[in-house]
Structure 1
Amino acid sequence: MTEPGIDYRAVFEASPSAMLVLDAAFVILDANAAYQRLVGRTRDQLVGQYLFQAYPDNPYDGHGAGRDDMESSLRRVLKTGCPDAVGPMRFDVEDPGRPGAFAERYWSPINAPVLDADGRVALIVHRLAEVTDLVVSGPPGIDDRRLQMESELYARSRELQRVNEWLREANARERQVALTLQSAMLPAPQPMAHHQAAVRYRPALNTLNVCGDWYDVTRLATGDHAVAVGDVVGHGLAAAGVMGQLRSALSAVIRVANGPAAALDVLDTYARSVDGALSSTAVQTVIAADGRRIAYSSAGHPPPLLADPDGTVRFLDRSTDPPLGAAPRPTPRPQATATCAGGATLVLYTDGLIERRGEDIDEGLRRLADRLAEHHRHRVEDLADALIELSAGTDDTALVVLRL
């Protein structure tokens, strides 16, 4: 089948809704005819201008709050990647035929994001509906009681906006506390003899999607090295707390357990007693002291990658099992072993590195394998930087790179 021959430019121009297309800096890229009629300005007067230059507030009246409320709405769209609608807003608009004369107008805006392939906000569709008659004078025949109710409704909508702003500020504070807590629980890796290790953690851009991912790099008493990553379901302070419990438990268990699978067996039992830990994922590896043999086991986690010195990349995917606590009762988990030559590179990561909105996860896995093959000869710190850039920023990401 072929795509229908729709002239989207003509659709935009013919729409009865007043619409603008903005870039991420709120600069006007286009304005349809309905919008031009609503604000009394031509396309040439609008395109290329900062949005608020299209209808500035009356400089002699400090009560017009339209600009502040509108800007808050647009910034919420940039932060969340979600549409945002706000109640009627007051704007004092200058009469094009009478410079210095301002008319009180009420517009109801809706701001909708247009996302790029990486899930970031590339454009904003900004729509206005004229509601001045409803707010100021009401429709024909409306009584005084109805006008009073409309006024009260408008006042409550403004109060709700202030409450929402407070909640967003509270979420931002929670995010910072959670990041600080997570930073304290994700220290730099311990010295690893002749091996080199680099770790990265990148929080999500969204204020809510943060603090569920973790890593652990430990040298065991046997001379072997244990490397693990995991991902907790949920976000915020609660997820950070659960993450700390699971990471600490697995770090302790791997020191005495007979291999990665046995350690995940114990962690599975422990997770069933921790609120918010069920369905978390983790992968545990143990690298022999000589770096030539890797034992691994996975609880529902994306498979580690192993790059041989010649650039051949393998997925360590022969010991995959369900997430923690997903089975009706604990059952022994599988374990597999891989061998490699000196100078090979092991990469463990969380799903924020490979997942993108609207894309099959296999695409993300192939992209990661290709990037590893391309940069496998780089120093581990440089390689970690090259790999973490694959993160789309919609979820937090943990990464461990180990040169064997």
Structure 2
Amino acid sequence: MPDLDYAAWFATMPSPYIVVTADLVIVEANQAYLETTGRTREDLVGRRLFDAFPESEGTAGSMRKVLESLERVLESGKPDSMILHYDIPVAGRPGEFEERWWSPVFTPILGADGKVEHIFIRSDDVTEFVRSSALSHQMPSVELSDRIALEAELYDRARELHDLNEELRQANLRDRQVAVTLQEAMLLTPDLAKHSDVAVRYRPAIESFNVCGDWYDLVDLTGDRFSVGVGDVVGHGLEAAAVMGMLRSVLNAAIRALERPAHALEVLTLYARSMEGALNTTAVEALVDPSSGLIIYSNSGHPPPVLVHPDRGCDLLNQHVDPPLGARPQHVPCSQAGHPYAPGDTLVLYTDGLIERRDEGIDMGLDRLCEVLTHHCEQSPEDMADAVLDELGVAEGGRDDISLIVVRL
């Protein structure tokens, strides 16, 4: 994903936001906040929060609650929210104030040490809601004692909503962990234990609570030959993961029986046509044959494997690429190509989550991958895999699932 202009994003957010330090000094305010409060940046930035918004008659209790909420955030490192009554100056009428009710949400921003460095404050104007609530209770006006009671009720409701949201978030995290554990179980590769010169990585998407349908595999064949493959099922969630598990098993069995990547992918294509959710899956299978010094590969719509040489040369194995599984109206045999390799070369297969970024062509992602691979070509496959994920900015995951297999030949 390309770098975002977070300053521009913050400035144009429609909701009012400010950012304060752990010492409660205002360091930034967006345009919506300035317009809502009738303040200027000079009124706010660089000032302590309670100097910029001092207590006034009737607001002492509310400001005390703000401080208590901020202290909870600083101590726990978790968000907090409340309902606040605070009047603001009337534009163009000095000395006059307008009654306002706010629903601030305090979100901590943690530093590398895990401590709160800044607090992101969103303040939504809920004045109309409070007034309509007062009218619904047939109150001709909101007196101070009634305000306190109403504030307490709204605050309790806000806390209940916050607690419910936290419970839902934790439940989603548990469901995601179950899904990830299931997918990791389906990615077990028994033959991998015999190859100390092969590294594999799987990273689930971080922008979704669902896993996707990426896979990798390694299969030992007759003699000293072996095959490696990766694939990507269209869709997200447990359904895509289940389809992935079945397609991976079929391809594993097909390459063992046929020992030709093109024939194995033909079998997989025929199987995909009979299975809901399997069409348009992409996959690439590569057979490494030390006796001939060739990598024999077949590709169904997948990003090309990369062969990296010790002299920092880099080849894309893209001589033949067929459409994704089942994309053609009628079944057509898969193509196959051979590419020579030498001992010490490194073969890298991956899924598109490793290289694809928003608003960026696929060629740019491939160039960036090749640059990283050639820079680290002398490292071990394990270190090379870690370096690729780190330097491509997906060490902790990306927008899409990522499967990666690095083979030292």
The answer to whether the superposition gives a TM-score over 0.5 is yes
Identity of aligned residues (%): 46
Deviation at 1:357, TM superposition (A): 1.7
- Identify the residue that residue 211 of structure 1 maps to in structure 2: 212
1:190 is aligned to 2:195: no
- Identify the residue that residue 84 of structure 2 maps to in structure 1: 91
- Identify the residue that residue 31 of structure 1 maps to in structure 2: 29
* Residues 240/138 of structure 1: CA separation in 2 closer, same or farther (3 Å cut): same
- Whether the aligned pair in 1 keeps the contact of 2:87 and 2:100 (CA below 8 Å) is no
Per-residue deviation, residues 56-95 of structure 1 (Å, max 9, x unmatched): 9959879x99999xxxxx98xxxxxxxxxxxx97335599
* Residues 394/202 of structure 1: CA separation in 2 closer, same or farther (3 Å cut): same
* Residues 290/212 of structure 1: CA separation in 2 closer, same or farther (3 Å cut): same
Per-residue deviation, residues 331-355 of structure 1 (Å, max 9, x unmatched): 1111010011111110000111101
* Residues 157/403 of structure 1: CA separation in 2 closer, same or farther (3 Å cut): same
Deviation at 1:197, TM superposition (A): 0.6
Q: TM-score, normalised by structure 2?
A: 0.70
- Identify the residue that residue 136 of structure 1 maps to in structure 2: 130
1:19 is aligned to 2:12: no
1:231 is aligned to 2:232: yes
* Residues 53/360 of structure 1: CA separation in 2 closer, same or farther (3 Å cut): farther
- Identify the residue that residue 114 of structure 2 maps to in structure 1: none
Deviation at 1:223, TM superposition (A): 2.7
Deviation at 1:232, TM superposition (A): 1.3
Deviation at 1:200, TM superposition (A): 0.9
Q: In 1, distance between residues paired with 2:356 and 2:267?
A: 29
What CA RMSD, in Å, does the superposition of the two structures yield over aligned residues?
4.7
- Identify the residue that residue 200 of structure 1 maps to in structure 2: 201
The 10-residue stretch of structure 1 (334-343 or 158-167) with the greater mean CA deviation from structure 2: 158-167
- Whether the aligned pair in 2 keeps the contact of 1:57 and 1:91 (CA below 8 Å) is no
Per-residue deviation, residues 185-220 of structure 1 (Å, max 9, x unmatched): 223562587871111111222233523211001111
Unpaired runs of 5+ in structure 2?
1-6, 54-59, 73-77, 90-98, 108-117, 141-149
Task: Determine which of 105, 108, 113 is the counterpart of 2:101.
Answer: 105
**Equivalent position SS for 2:202:** strand
1:327 is aligned to 2:328: yes
1:374 is aligned to 2:375: yes
- Whether the aligned pair in 2 keeps the contact of 1:18 and 1:38 (CA below 8 Å) is no
- Identify the residue that residue 255 of structure 1 maps to in structure 2: 256
Unpaired runs of 5+ in structure 1?
1-7, 69-73, 76-87, 97-102, 112-122
Q: How many residue pairs align between the two structures? A: 353
Q: TM-score, normalised by structure 1?
A: 0.71
Q: In 1, distance between residues paired with 2:280 and 2:157?
A: 41
* Residues 344/107 of structure 1: CA separation in 2 closer, same or farther (3 Å cut): same
* Residues 37/370 of structure 1: CA separation in 2 closer, same or farther (3 Å cut): closer
- Identify the residue that residue 57 of structure 2 maps to in structure 1: none
Deviation at 1:19, TM superposition (A): 3.1
Rg larger in 1 or in 2? Answer: 2
* Residues 259/66 of structure 1: CA separation in 2 closer, same or farther (3 Å cut): same
Q: In 1, distance between residues paired with 2:176 and 2:183?
A: 10
- Identify the residue that residue 402 of structure 1 maps to in structure 2: 407
Compare the two structures and name the one with the higher helix fraction. Answer: 2
Deviation at 1:299, TM superposition (A): 1.0
